Structure 1
Amino acid sequence: MKKRLVMIGNGMAGIRCMEEILKHDCDSYEITIFGDEPHPNYNRIMLSHVLQGKTNMQDIIMNEYSWYEENEITLYTNERVQSINREEKIIITEKNRTLTYDKLIIATGSSAFILPVEGSTLPGVTGFRTIEDTQFMIDTAKEKKKAVVIGGGLLGLEAARGLIDLGMDVHVVHLMPNLMEQQLDTKAASLLREDLEAQGMNFLMEKKTVKILGTNHVEGIQFEDGEVVDCDLIVMAVGIRPNTQIAKDAGLIVNRGIVVNDYMLTNDESIYAVGECAEHDGIAYGLVAPLYEQGAILAKHITNLQTDGYSGSIVGTQLKVAGCDLFSAGQIYEDDQTKAISIFNECKRSYKKVLIRDNKVVGIVLYGDTADGTRLFSMLKKEEDIQEYTPASILHKAGEESELDVATMSADDTICGCNGVTKGTIVHAILEQELTTFEEVKGCTKAAGSCGKCRPLVEQVLSHTLGDAFDASAQSAGMCGCTTLSRDEVVAAIHEKGLKSPKEVRNVLGFAHEDGCSKCRPALNYYLRMAIPEEYEDDKSSRFVNERMNGNIQHDGTFSVIPRMYGGVTTADDLMKIAEVAKKYDVPLVKITGASRIGLYGVKKQDLPNVWADLHMTSGYAYSKSLRNVKSCVGSRFCRFGTKDSLGLGMLLEQSLEMVDTPHKMKMGVTGCPRNCAEVLTKDFGVVCVENGYQLYIGGNGGTEVREADFVMIVPTEDDVLRIATAYMQYYRETGIYGERTAYWTERLGFDHIKEILQDANMVTKLNERFQTARGTYKEAWGQALETKSLKAMYEVETVK
């Protein structure tokens, strides 16, 4: 007869422990799980990615309801267990459900700590721990514009970044002088703050909150020094509090957490505790890796397998905010016994600091370049003697390459810190399960299944283990988490099956989520309009906010207005209109842009239609995935070195190719001579005018990863330039992955292949024809918004009286 195993809690630590139990013994226990949230187990780590718009709620579900059914687990969601009767071995829920147990696991996790100040219970105050918290923040951002995040630690900064991405003006309030003071030293914290400020984050340091203002809703926050900041939303990210009350009421020993021994047993031999609610050797851990280690020990003990017991964990910290890479572990400051080796590369904003005591690594702080994190963390955990290393290179052996080589890693080195997956575990799974792709490895081992930052390492292990059998081309996953189908398969199905709408695509092709996700919605909108331009009507709601609003949103919620100036050319009349509009609407910044245009920055949302109407100019599409501009020098019109009319050609290209959507933004350039004043070799399509014609270049990029454009051909006339540019743009439209710049597209398809397409006169003609068909369906964005009542209504702002 099966014993009854009951688990209180349905979160990451508890369910991971249950997965381990089932792996060791799936027959001995009748399992029941209670969760107080109305969801199956989900990845709490990824809530910040949901808030930042990188994924959706459905994508972070780790164990679907079907998993519980397949493993014969009885799950009660949205039902809190209220008490434990240890003498009779019975639990009682808030719905008066009673259940007996032979073994009980308490995995109740923790709750956000809410500051006990006046006003903390007002509507508009929230923690950041659950799906409901996250959805509340997303919904609030649709109507409100000012947010305060209390807490400059890991969670607070991730929440602040997400709220900025949702269009809110965000202030981060922190009690200490440095951000993340538990993980970063003063230098790294300063670099982090500078980078986050550049992203639009505002900071109020060394501020103690004493009161939250408002009557029926949050209206502001007051600090000890008397300063008041207006806000509509307050997010508390000042720490967590282990959920221990049920254990305390049952008479279990509780300090900060529920006290457990090395096998995660409480002072009752029938009751275990695991996760954030548990306290081992005086420590209650809040990061997922040690909680998974605890779960693995518990699972072996409860299934009567030999195990060494849990001896504590050394944890590393990473931040999940775009553009800010950091890694920290162990001690962060020097003392009498601890010395530091540090390097700061000001040009690359890279800071590396390793703390040494008795020839062993005891602390790591990395900012900007975190590639050494895994290797150094391994040294720290193993207490490796570092005397043979070269300190000047931040602990590389003499002659050793800076890039981490998984071949040199031992089997017990950690690849995935979030889920505690070692190199040995991955290698064993690859060999035993005959895994060949990253997705298979992730599904089998959970490696890279949380924050995903270790994916490159996982792929390196896969490549190293398979050797010649590794197929890099097979590593591409589906176009999003809703489907395993690739971009090419989806587009082919649109043509073959005559699919006409995103909903039809998702239904016919069996997407997992009926409404799609934040990744596939804009992609399908693009692919459909590209594939059937005369039949498909653009779905504005599927576009990103900048494209919906026809302007780039700024960090304060205002917008930029950048009118089209073909080839960078303007007139006295247009300049006068710009000046008049800037004065009339009190525009705070008027600037010459890097694309040789004039931008108006800080325009209020409600003023956008009137600004466009008063300018009486067309949109420069500076916000869109389309041709942004054609940068041109004056050429032979004025320059004594100019060989051709580069300015006229640039204007012709821009006028002929504007408005039409592409997988990502495109930039072009025309220079009047090889001196290259228009910098065309870092453009998606570049033209160098020479005496005997026009040299054409493709696939350049001047962004974060600079790529020099490849020379493709020389043509004799301007008409030839336009034909090739049009064919190139259309072929990119038809074969590019949504969100892929031409630099990556050129390397993915192969330069020689694209060159062959552009040298095929018949193909160039067909591509030109298809482009003209598509272009005929586009209307100028600002004009269309002014003429269309439903579009114009988007810019109206309700006035609260």
Structure 2
Amino acid sequence: MPKRKLVLIGNGMAGVRCIEEILKEDPERFEITIFGTEPHPNYNRIMLSSVLQGDTTLDDIIINSYEWYEQNNIQLYTGETVEKVNTEDKLVYTDKDREVPYDDLILATGSDPFMLPLPGADKEGVIAFRNIEDCNQMIDTSKKYERAVVIGGGLLGLEAARGLLNLGMEVDVVHIMDQLMERQLDATGGKMLQEELEKQGMNFLMGYQTEAILGAGRVKKVSFKNAPPVKADLVVMAVGIKPNLAVAKASGIETNRGIVVNDYMQTSAPDVYSLGECAEHREMVYGLVAPLWDQGKALAKKICEKDAGEGYQGSILSTKLKVSGVDVFSAGEFADSPDSKAIRVQDEFEGIYKKVVVRDNQVVGAVLFGDTSDGTRLLSMINNKTDISDMSKVTILQSADQDAGGSGVAEMADSDQICGCNGVSKGDIVTAIKEQNLTTVAEVRGCTNASRSCGTCAGLVGDLLEHTLGDEFEAVDEKATVCGCTDLTHEEVVAEIRDKNLSHTREVMNVLGWTSDEGCSKCRPALNYYLGMVNPTDHEDERESRFVNERMHANIQNDGTYSVVPRMYGGVTNAKDLRRIADVADKYDVPLLKMTGGQRIDMLGIKKEDVPNVWKDLDMPSGYAYAKSIRTVKTCVGENFCRFGTQDSIGLGIAIEKKFERLNTPHKVKMAVSACPRNCAEGGIKDVGVVGVEGSWQIYVGGNGGTTLRAADLLCTVTSDEEVLEMISAYLQLYRENARYLERTSHYLERVGLDYIKSVILDDPEEKQELVKRMEVALTNLNDPWSEIVNDEKQKNDLFQNYKAAAVAQK
């Protein structure tokens, strides 16, 4: 029986989570295609504020990696927008003239930020806070400008403001209401939150009515109807969202506030479903994740023809958040009303406020500020309509387990939800812990999805682990485990690989008791690296375990195209190579050639299907701009041309780059060589920086020029080029052997300390020589056909044909 063709429009959290539920119900039923407007795999939008604040990276918030789509045979089109659906002929049409048939269609187009229609709202520097590109724009703006205005005192606005403060900007938060987060907090909670955030440096303009955005070209000021204007180099609008109905309206599907659906998430068109922030169910549009997960489960059962019961019945809204470090919870009807009474507890010394609203001897709503440990229990009471007539009203806010210093998990019912975002109950987690022998929060997350979204329930999951395991519980989750597939740390995995002479990722997973037979997108690249590092002589690099960019030998861009960067040793090129690059750029209509910060030419905007032939026609080594390896060695012009230069920086830089090119490392490594202390090559913020002084070279390590700037530390001073190469060999090999995968040299150095590195490399000559010897072995056994010029033309063609086939399969 042929598979039905299922198309999902929208690669966001709700839609892809629904696909996960469908795969659980019937993994062989559908041939799945997904379209996403953004040029990224599915990521956790809830965690964007953490990216903005510098607490995490884009890679960390990816929910479903490109590898996940591959493993589940899902055809993913990123950077491509569906414009219209022909519901009669069952065809979808995209902005790239693609036409795809379907048997079943899911609309999960999400929502768009609401931009106030103010005069000047189209000026440069006026943005929303909705996606990764908005984050990047705020980060870039903070490097050049000082003052930001955030319009909107809801959760999103406050998170944006906190992030901008972290980026060093002065921030005014404009809110038309007289209290913050009025949808999640009552007046008392809102006031306490404002006071706490003012201590953190936010300035609030409460009750201000924004009139216009002023400036010639770029924003300069924000004016108000009832107050003087304020200066602004950046304006972030965070005043709300609106369902994205463009596709539904263009396709004749019924819409109101959202895309109208029934209890089984069916739209007015046959075999077309909808869920998420774009869907309207019983005149309600939900913007929180917990209702969206419930919708996904109901839709999955219906579309897989399983027992769908009554379908989706709507949700009681609850929110458990951490706003700039402050815990906040609210649920149900928490506003005061004539037919209800409230229990309030407030501790101004500790910054704690609790309010429970009661009607007819039932808890109907709650607000918690500063201490949200009662939240799960109160939400359960609201959902279950618990009769509290026999309970002391004060004890509603204090469980017996809390009196003993716990979080209340002992007295929770099995049906009570631990993770509201993902609908995971206490019973689900306890069963998984016992049946799967789980011992860490990461393992519980991987098995049940609890704490997978916003992460605020991670502490509660830990408490439940401790309560369930009793004396067998150990706080192992504090370890930096490789991923959720194992409770082993990076160091423990490397030790096991050495001790047991393991040679393949599958062997590591089997021998070391991985919970997943296939591993995940985090552990597979890490294991591949560790195996190659431990045994460089015999290890065969597992290309399938590498990240997509490394397999493509190019970096994916925000429009779905790729960039190719040929290597230019030390930033030096010649007329022949420049002419070759120009010819290739003309042949493949490359839209942009740009000089990179690493002194190379980046060929941007190359179509995926052209990447293999671009490399073939260039016939140049790859610059490895995509890899976890040695990237570039930046140089100044040096003593041969510069009147200040004291050393041959170009010669040494080229020698370093040729020696270490293609070397696999835990993370990307950038280096620089400057011929004098003026440091024009910026070695002071590189992973390894070499600076010439009169008659010697200074070697700096652990620098980082990213969002979190870190100046490199002086490791040593040497007198010859040979000593420079030797010291770099020893340092990089020490880093390769002891750093955790995806740990930059700056983080590694801060973790182990400069004194430790000096003690190994400078104070122990024998150990230094052993490191150098092991580095030479690693360099001798490097083998990557894509960055070498193959002399045998037939072999070269075979290699590129295989590569092209892989690229087409990936597409």
C-alpha change, 1:23 and 1:544, in structure 2 (3 Å) is: closer
Cα distance in 1 for partners of 2:64, 2:401 equals 46
Name which of structure 1's ranges 414-423 and 149-158 shifts more when overlaid on structure 2. 414-423
The structure 1 residue matched to 2:463, chosen from 445, 460, 465, is 460
Amino acid aligned to 1:270: D
The aligned runs of 1:370-389 (5 Å cut-off) are 370-389=372-391
Cα distance in 1 for partners of 2:156, 2:455 equals 17
Secondary structure of 1:147's aligned partner: strand
Deviation at 1:429, TM superposition (A): 2.7
Cα distance in 1 for partners of 2:269, 2:669 equals 47
**Which residue in 1 is equivalent to 2:340?**
338
The structure 2 residue matched to 1:537, chosen from 700, 703, 706, is 700
Amino acid aligned to 1:310: Y
**Which residue in 2 is equivalent to 1:175?**
176
1:189 matched to 2:352? The reply is: no
1:282 matched to 2:445? The reply is: no
C-alpha change, 1:282 and 1:236, in structure 2 (3 Å) is: same
**Which residue in 2 is equivalent to 1:129?**
130
Deviation at 1:270, TM superposition (A): 0.8
Amino acid aligned to 1:312: G
Secondary structure of 2:64's aligned partner: coil
Deviation at 1:514, TM superposition (A): 7.3
1:53 matched to 2:57? The reply is: no
C-alpha change, 1:491 and 1:8, in structure 2 (3 Å) is: closer
Cα distance in 1 for partners of 2:700, 2:493 equals 18
C-alpha change, 1:498 and 1:350, in structure 2 (3 Å) is: farther
Amino acid aligned to 1:396: Q
**Which residue in 2 is equivalent to 1:17?**
18
CA contact (8 A) 2:290 2:420 kept: yes
Amino acid aligned to 1:537: Y
Cα distance in 2 for partners of 1:451, 1:129 equals 16
Amino acid aligned to 1:478: T
**Which residue in 1 is equivalent to 2:576?**
none
CA contact (8 A) 1:375 1:404 kept: no
CA contact (8 A) 1:366 1:373 kept: yes
Cα distance in 1 for partners of 2:152, 2:629 equals 41
Deviation at 1:219, TM superposition (A): 1.2
1:354 matched to 2:356? The reply is: yes
C-alpha change, 1:29 and 1:339, in structure 2 (3 Å) is: same
Deviation at 1:182, TM superposition (A): 1.4
Name which of structure 1's ranges 359-368 and 391-400 shifts more when overlaid on structure 2. 391-400
Cα distance in 1 for partners of 2:319, 2:668 equals 33
**Which residue in 1 is equivalent to 2:480?**
477
Deviation at 1:211, TM superposition (A): 0.9
1:418 matched to 2:581? The reply is: no
**Which residue in 1 is equivalent to 2:438?**
435
**Which residue in 2 is equivalent to 1:325?**
327
Deviation at 1:320, TM superposition (A): 3.2
Deviation at 1:86, TM superposition (A): 1.1
CA contact (8 A) 2:374 2:397 kept: no
The aligned runs of 1:509-548 (5 Å cut-off) are 511=666, 537-541=700-704
Cα distance in 1 for partners of 2:223, 2:473 equals 59
Secondary structure of 2:143's aligned partner: helix
Cα distance in 2 for partners of 1:483, 1:146 equals 45
Cα distance in 1 for partners of 2:400, 2:413 equals 20
Deviation at 1:133, TM superposition (A): 0.9
**Which residue in 2 is equivalent to 1:396?**
398
Deviations 1:376-396 (CA, angstroms, capped at 9, x unpaired): 121112111122332234433
C-alpha change, 1:194 and 1:258, in structure 2 (3 Å) is: same
C-alpha change, 1:280 and 1:304, in structure 2 (3 Å) is: same
**Which residue in 1 is equivalent to 2:273?**
272
The structure 1 residue matched to 2:318, chosen from 316, 319, 324, is 316
C-alpha change, 1:288 and 1:511, in structure 2 (3 Å) is: farther
Extract unaligned runs of 5+ from structure 1: 516-521, 527-533, 551-735, 742-765, 775-801
Deviation at 1:407, TM superposition (A): 2.7
Deviation at 1:236, TM superposition (A): 0.8
Name which of structure 1's ranges 141-150 and 462-471 shifts more when overlaid on structure 2. 462-471
Secondary structure of 1:342's aligned partner: strand
Deviation at 1:489, TM superposition (A): 6.1
C-alpha change, 1:544 and 1:138, in structure 2 (3 Å) is: closer
CA contact (8 A) 1:487 1:737 kept: no
Secondary structure of 1:319's aligned partner: strand
Cα distance in 2 for partners of 1:737, 1:391 equals 52
Secondary structure of 1:293's aligned partner: helix
CA contact (8 A) 1:438 1:475 kept: no
Secondary structure of 2:324's aligned partner: coil
Amino acid aligned to 1:352: K
Secondary structure of 1:30's aligned partner: strand
Deviations 1:130-183 (CA, angstroms, capped at 9, x unpaired): 111111111111111110110000100001000000000000000100001111
Cα distance in 1 for partners of 2:415, 2:184 equals 25
Deviations 1:391-439 (CA, angstroms, capped at 9, x unpaired): 2344336797363232322222111122222222222333343433322
C-alpha change, 1:27 and 1:428, in structure 2 (3 Å) is: same
CA contact (8 A) 1:52 1:165 kept: yes
Q: Let me know the Cα RMSD of the aligned residues.
A: 3.8
**Which residue in 1 is equivalent to 2:582?**
none
Deviation at 1:469, TM superposition (A): 4.0
**Which residue in 2 is equivalent to 1:408?**
411
CA contact (8 A) 2:380 2:416 kept: yes
Amino acid aligned to 2:294: E
Cα distance in 2 for partners of 1:514, 1:737 equals 12
Count how many residue pairs are aligned between Structure 1 and Structure 2: 550
Identity of aligned residues (%): 51
Cα distance in 2 for partners of 1:483, 1:472 equals 15
Amino acid aligned to 2:35: F
Cα distance in 2 for partners of 1:41, 1:281 equals 28
The aligned runs of 1:570-585 (5 Å cut-off) are none
Cα distance in 2 for partners of 1:427, 1:481 equals 17
C-alpha change, 1:198 and 1:525, in structure 2 (3 Å) is: farther
Secondary structure of 2:342's aligned partner: strand
Deviation at 1:478, TM superposition (A): 3.4
Secondary structure of 1:541's aligned partner: coil
CA contact (8 A) 2:208 2:227 kept: no
Deviations 1:711-738 (CA, angstroms, capped at 9, x unpaired): xxxxxxxxxxxxxxxxxxxxxxxxx999
Deviation at 1:107, TM superposition (A): 0.4
Cα distance in 2 for partners of 1:487, 1:86 equals 51
**Which residue in 1 is equivalent to 2:305?**
304
Secondary structure of 1:266's aligned partner: coil
Q: Normalization by structure 2: what TM-score?
A: 0.62
**Which residue in 1 is equivalent to 2:39?**
38
1:166 matched to 2:329? The reply is: no
C-alpha change, 1:319 and 1:544, in structure 2 (3 Å) is: same
**Which residue in 1 is equivalent to 2:117?**
116
CA contact (8 A) 2:363 2:382 kept: yes
C-alpha change, 1:426 and 1:140, in structure 2 (3 Å) is: same
Cα distance in 2 for partners of 1:159, 1:323 equals 13
**Which residue in 2 is equivalent to 1:200?**
201
Deviations 1:510-537 (CA, angstroms, capped at 9, x unpaired): 647779xxxxxx9x989xxxxxxx9973
CA contact (8 A) 2:401 2:410 kept: no
Deviations 1:11-66 (CA, angstroms, capped at 9, x unpaired): 00000000000111111211111111111100100000000111011111111111
Secondary structure of 2:397's aligned partner: coil
CA contact (8 A) 1:128 1:134 kept: yes
Deviations 1:645-684 (CA, angstroms, capped at 9, x unpaired): xxxxxxxxxxxxxxxxxxxxxxxxxxxxxxxxxxxxxxxx
CA contact (8 A) 1:482 1:512 kept: no
**Which residue in 1 is equivalent to 2:241?**
240
Extract unaligned runs of 5+ from structure 2: 499-529, 537-627, 632-659, 671-683, 689-696, 714-746, 764-811
Deviations 1:92-121 (CA, angstroms, capped at 9, x unpaired): 111111111111100000011001111111
